[in-house]
Amino acid sequence: MDWWVALAGLGVGFVVGLTGMGGGALMTPILVLGFGIQPLAAVSSDLVAALVMKPFGAGVHLHHGTVNLRLVGWLCTGSVPAAFCGALLLESLGDGIQKDLQTMLGIALLVAASAMVARNVVLRRRGAPLGHDDAQHDIAVRPLPTLLVGVLGGLVVGITSVGSGSLMIVMLLLLYPALTAAQLVGTDLVQAIPLVAAAALGHLLFGDVQLTLTGSLLVGGIPGTYLGARLSSRSPDHIIRPVLMVVLLISGLKLLGASNQSVLVTGGVAAAVGIGLGLRATLRRRTDAVAPPRP
């Protein structure tokens, strides 16, 4: 048992339960950069741990009715076979893929961060709320685009373990901006279970799963995911997401071989911008809450 890994699992699990994102996008870079785990072992072990963790958060959202089951069905139709194919593709690339895998991880993280920024821009232009909303909106499901989102997300998950949350949820945000944050988190956590199961099966057969590493992740990850999901309906979404974007940006740059100085400078600038936007959103909400109604 590695208690430092368990502590990292607790923190990442909490973020996953709270936002629906951050599993592979955060845990895999932490294992690779912070603990010196080989990328393939980190991807494989993290996926198996995620398969056990996510149902705890998904159960909370199913209980509260914040899951769009129609979206789940179409997403899984595309993502489950694509995730298994991604694991097969990773196996066919051979043992020399370790460095390439690290590069793919970095690219996937930067894509996720960019997609999250794009989502915020889209919602701001449409005048939609950026945070959690208690109202549940009925949306018209678009089968083909949703299926393609599942295929793309599943393929990325199978290869890198990134995508079951970080890429899938941001693509859903762009495709269905009317979804509330609670619905997005709940829907993503539920659809991720069969998706991660398919990818984890592929990595159990063809990857490098280290059961001691997986066990350490689960000791912290299970309670973290459950607590995060319990708080997700009340979480300050407009603050959590900028923080996650900064972490994704820093991790992606580091995995792509950027120098420590450039990573710190870029991360510092992004953090300052994120904090500023979060404070601005908080002040705007408080102002709107106390402003008298217009005649």
pLDDT digit string, tens, across residues 51-75: 888 888 888 888 888 888 999 999 9
User: Dihedral of the CA atoms 203, 168, 133, 231 (nearest 10)?
Assistant: 20
pLDDT on residue 239: 63
Amino acid present at 234: R
What sections of the chain are H helices per DSSP? 3-19, 23-29, 35, 39-64, 69-92, 98-126, 143-160, 166-175, 181-206, 211-231, 237-255, 260-290
pLDDT of 131 higher than 60: no
pLDDT on residue 240: 63
Q: Is residue 137 within 8 Å of residue 66, measured between CB atoms?
A: no
pLDDT of 97 higher than 70: no
Distance (Å, whole) CA 42 – CA 24: 9
Long-range Cβ contacts of 256-265 (<8 Å, 24+ apart): 256/103, 256/106, 256/107, 256/110, 257/106
Q: Is residue 173 within 8 Å of residue 179, measured between CB atoms?
A: yes
Q: Is residue 123 within 8 Å of residue 130, measured between CB atoms?
A: yes
pLDDT on residue 74: 93
Mean pLDDT in residue range 195-212:
81
Distance (Å, whole) CA 202 – CA 16: 22
Distance (Å, whole) CA 98 – CA 79: 24
> Which tokens in the block code for residue 259?
């120098």
Residue 132: pLDDT band with limits 50, 70, 90: very low
pLDDT digit string, tens, across residues 257-285: 777 678 778 878 887 876 776 666 667 66
pLDDT on residue 135: 45
